[in-house]
Amino acid sequence: MTFAQEIVELLEEAGDPERAPAMMDYMRGQFEFYGVSAPNRKAVCKEHFALSKKLDHDTLIEQVDLLWQEDARECQHAAVDILIKNKKRLVPEDMKCLHDWTIEKSWWDTVDFLGSHMVGALVKKHPHLEKQYIQPWLVSDNIWLNRTCLIYQLKYGRDTNFEKQKSYIKALAEDQEFFIQKAIGWSLRQYSKLEPETVRSFVKEIGLKGLAKREALKYVD
């Protein structure tokens, strides 16, 4: 039994069939669920999450990918947990896998962690990945890659390149897709914790409206 299969078995055993339908409804029926809450998932997989740090890099990526191929959504959530535990071990070549996991079984519950944790950490450590991946993703027809371009700097704090962030927002500002507008507002809201007036001025400058504006100015007005 592989490392991934052991996790699948743990999650399946911990599942609550009565809880599963509500979890499926919350995700608009897009995914199957065992019915394992996030705290319970972390509890039952705790030892395996710790053991993941002892896997060699290639095996780690292989096992995460195996989890990604499972039908139950908790398996992708566990895969993300493992990646977060090991994000300092990721290498530039892993951006290809992060790309694939972003566009496969895509929804905000995985995409946002992949983007703000793993993609963000790799691009910060290896700036050349910006041109190789982020810029092409910006003009992709995949909304989840677009969204990643807007949120990968969320954890950068004072290291945020706001000029770059502004250019990405301007490129996507006219896209009325909910998850794009939400991400624009989210990224600006995060930066407003550091520079509220800078964010206020930028929102006014580009005439941001609706959801994106409300989110952006949540901590400013």
Distances (CA, A) of 103 to 21, 71, 109, 153, 171: 25, 15, 13, 19, 20
pLDDT at 94: 98
According to the model, what pLDDT value does residue 219 have?
94
Interval 2-39: pLDDT, tens: 999 999 999 999 999 999 999 999 999 999 999 999 99
pLDDT of residue 40: 98
The dihedral sign for the CA sequence 19, 23, 26, 32? negative
Q: Does the CA dihedral 26-31-37-41 come out positive or negative?
A: negative
Alpha carbon 99 to chain centroid, angstroms: 11
Mean pLDDT of all residues in 130-144: 98
* Per-residue pLDDT at 38: 97
Pair of tokens at residue 141: 């027809």
| Residue 2 backbone class (left: φ over 0; alpha: ψ -120 to 50; beta: rest) | beta
φ, ψ for residue 48 (rounded to 5)? -70, -35
The pLDDT of residue 182 is above 90: yes
% of the chain with per-residue pLDDT over 70: 100
What is the average per-residue pLDDT within 195-220? 97
pLDDT at 66: 98
Minimal CA–CA distance to 81: which of 169, 171, 7, 173?
A: 7
Please determine, for residue 118, whether its predicted confidence score (pLDDT) is greater than 90: yes
**Range 94-119 average pLDDT:** 98
Average pLDDT over residues 103-124: 98
Once rounded to an integer, what is the mean pLDDT over residues 185-190? 98
Instruction: Flag whether pLDDT at 221 surpasses 90.
Output: no
Give the other-Cβ count within 10 Å of 28's Cβ. 8
- Contacts of residue 136, Cβ cutoff 8 Å, sequence gap at least 6: none
> What was the pLDDT predicted at 99?
98
CB 192 within 8 A of CB 201: no
**pLDDT given at position 74:** 98
pTM of the entire structure? 0.96
pLDDT at 53 over 90: yes
